[in-house]
Structure 1
Amino acid sequence: MEALALGPARRGRRRTRAAGSLLSQAAILLFISAFLVRVPSSVGHLVRLPRGFRLTKDSVKIVGSTSFPVKVYVMLHQKSPHVLCVTQRLRNAELIDPSFQWHGPKGKIVSVENRTAQITSTGSLVFQNFEESMSGIYTCFLEYKPTVEEIVKRLQLKYAIYAYREPHYYYQFTARYHAAPCNSIYNISFEKKLIQILSKLLLDLSCEISLLKSECHHVKMQRAGLQNELFFTFSVSSLDTEKGPKPCTDHNCEPSKRLFKAKNLIERFFNQQVKILGRRAEQLPVIYYIEGTLQMVWINRCFPGYGMNVQKHPKCPECCVICSPGSYNPRDGIHCLQCNSSLVYGAKTCL
């Protein structure tokens, strides 16, 4: 910095020392705010329930219909519910000499020896590790006698089985800081320090901070002339806790719950900066948070090949369901787009 300073070297050192001191004050303010946020609060918070639902428990059993294909949703890489080869009326009825035969997509017979799809002794279809390629129309052919004396009756039950995934949801925050001159290196240093402290703040929640945008602007203030301001935009998303050396399976590991806690921590962190500044008697640091500028939005995104559709999937309105033939999703959008040439489930391109 001394080589770039104008005037005598002593004056340059004095300016550098003063600017560095004010930047240090801003950094200390961040550290104190982060420390106070970590102190346990006596105030409780309501925990938001998961935004999707999961039909993966053994106790869930789905019956068929002779009138229309019954829709079944199975979370990707999870066990499916039991898909029964009976209607609601026949579920608790006595069936004499029943026989069941399941046909998968493209009419292929689902064999008893299949590793990924099992057929129980009562004719139920169960998937152990559902993959995208398993999505499609499944048909069960049921033959039985209502009584020993009656003739054999035959039913054909269809099921539309879809893979689905949790949405890739995250919070997006914007905040503004009073800044040093826009060409100052201290703004860049402060930006790195802010993201570093926020990342450490959320480390225990397995949440990730990503800086999306950082801009410095000259802002004309009412009765106060021009001032420099930093405009930050950053996102907070949950990391995958089901992978790694110690997979987390507790209900508190659900992304929505961890993100909700992360949101509360971030809000308290910025509010703490305001409180600390309000108690200061000395001069404000060059860079400081501008009260009331923190804003947040909740954003839902689906992975490529998946989308949300309340009309088509009313029982799973906030699930990212695999795109059906005739549609595709090329990016992390919310909806599957129409594509007449698409013939597969989970299409990511439209040729």
Structure 2
Amino acid sequence: MLAWALAALLCSLLGVGSQRPSLFSNKGIVYGTVGRPVKIYVKLHQDSPVLVCMDANRASKETVDPAYLWIGPNENTLTGNGQINVTNTGKLIVKDFMESLSGLYTCTLSYKTIKAETQEETTIKKRYDFMIFVNPFAPGWKSVCNDSNDCEDATNRNILKARDRIEEFFRSQAYILYHHFNKTIPAMHFVDHSFQVVRIDNCRPGFGKNEGLHSNCASCCVVCSPGTFSPDVDVTCQICVSVHSYGAKSCP
């Protein structure tokens, strides 16, 4: 009797991170927080969430004569273009997000308060910082997912489906050989649950994982920050002080 143990199927799943909280939802609304930056992870070539130039507490109150000033990663004032959408109510959406659009987005909210007794006006200014990072898919995700809203889930389901079909193929082959050819060749038996899928943890070039910097998205492959680069499919962005952009794949 010949028992076959199938070798493991190695499936490389890149950039598969848990992004269920509303903070990371591409269709959600993200309010600012005074005193600390809000980190947001946007999938490559998708739109960012709606960034609101105020905190949730301020949004629930009346705001007198509000004015909004958005500053982008290049420290230029954002007035809106093909990829940057800035509304009159202080909301910002970045469309078709790419590595080069990663970075710090800052909004300053100015509004007035009026004392009831003296009618004295005071101008209040608050600053809100949003750190936006790109989180990519595996190579070839477009051909796999088409118009799927959640490509990484679709990719995972397809891989598991492929595993089940391959396992069924070998099981059927073992059955046929045992029942129809057992007199001419040695018997072959399929060992149940011997076929496994093993995840290889890696990221595409220009991306890496950093649990310290991105603790709220530790399993995400996030674009390498300035001062770092990644030339291969490793999970670590290496240090390179001469790099001044996001998503570097080499060290000049």
Settle same-fold status: TM greater than 0.5: yes
Residue 306 of structure 1 deviates from its aligned partner by 0.7
Please tell me whether the aligned partners of residues 73 and 163 of structure 1 are also in contact (alpha carbons under 8 angstroms): yes
Alpha-carbon distance between aligned partners in 1 of 2:244 and 2:19, rounded to the nearest angstrom: 28
Aligned pairs for 1:97-136 within 5 A: 97-112=65-80, 114-136=81-103
CA RMSD after TM alignment: 2.7
Instruction: Give the letter for the 1:270 counterpart.
Output: F
Equivalent position to 2:56, from 88, 95, 105? 88
User: 2:164 is matched with which residue?
Assistant: 264
Query: Counterpart of 2:43?
Result: 75
Instruction: Answer yes or no: is the 8 Å Cα contact 1:238–1:259 preserved in 2.
Output: no
How far off is 1:294 after superposition? Answer: 4.5
TM-score (norm 1): 0.58
- Distance (Å, rounded) in 2 between the aligned partners of 1:121 and 1:334: 40
Alignment of 1:31-180 (within 5 A): 51-53=17-19, 55-58=24-27, 60-112=28-80, 114-147=81-114, 149=119, 150-167=121-138
Partner of 2:10: none
Q: Which has the higher helix share?
A: 1
Paired AA for residue 119 in structure 1 = V
Percent identity over paired residues: 32
Equivalence for 2:232: 331
Matched, 1:342 2:243: yes
SS in 1 for 2:217: coil
How much has 1:239 moved relative to structure 2? 6.9
d(CA) in 1 for partners of 2:195, 2:135: 34
Q: Aligned equivalents of 1:327 and 1:107: distance in 2?
A: 20
Q: Secondary structure at the match of 1:107?
A: coil
Q: Please give the alpha-carbon distance, in whole angstroms, between the structure 2 residues aligned to 1:336 and 1:330.
A: 9
Is the Cα contact below 8 Å between 2:100 and 2:246 reproduced in 1?
Answer: yes
CA separation of 1:139 and 1:262: change in aligned 2, threshold 3 A: same
| AA aligned opposite 1:266 | I
Supply the distance in 2 between the matched residues of 1:263 and 1:107 (Cα, whole angstroms).
49
Matched residues in 2 for 1:326 and 1:158: separation?
21
Q: In structure 2, what is the equivalent of residue 240 of structure 1?
A: 143
In structure 2, the CA distance between the partners of 1:106 and 1:251, relative to structure 1 (3 Å rule), is closer
Alpha-carbon separation, structure 2, partners of 1:116 and 1:251: 22
Tell me the TM-score normalised to structure 2 length. 0.79
Which whole-Å deviations, capped at 9, do the CAs of 1:200-229 have from their partners, x for residues lacking one?
A: xxxxxxxxxxxxxxxxxxxxxxxxxxxxxx
* Structure 1 residue 267, shift from structure 2 partner: 1.6
Q: Which string of whole-angstrom CA distances, capped at 9 and with x for unpartnered residues, describes residues 100-158 of structure 1? A: 0101012111013x111111221011012112111111111110124474401011211
Query: 1:300 aligns to what?
Result: 201
> Are the equivalent residues in 1 in contact too, given 2:135–2:221 (CA < 8 A)?
yes
Q: Secondary structure at the match of 2:161?
A: helix
The aligned amino acid for 1:268 is E
**Cα distance in 1 between the residues matched to 2:147 and 2:31:** 33
Mark the CA change 1:73 to 1:289 in structure 2 (over 3 Å): closer, same or farther. Answer: farther
- In 1: Cα distance, 2:196 partner to 2:177 partner: 20
Kindly indicate whether the alpha-carbon contact (under 8 Å) linking 2:231 and 2:250 is maintained by their aligned counterparts in 1: yes
Instruction: Verify the 8 A CA contact 2:17 2:221 in the aligned structure 1.
Output: no
C-alpha distance in structure 2 between counterparts of 1:266 and 1:121, whole Å: 55
Match of 1:282 among 176, 183, 190: 183
Paired residue type of 1:241 = V
Unaligned 5+ segments in structure 1 are 1-49, 169-236
User: Partners in 1 of 2:77 and 2:195 — Cα distance?
Assistant: 57
Could you tell me how far apart the structure 1 residues matched to 2:64 and 2:100 are?
35
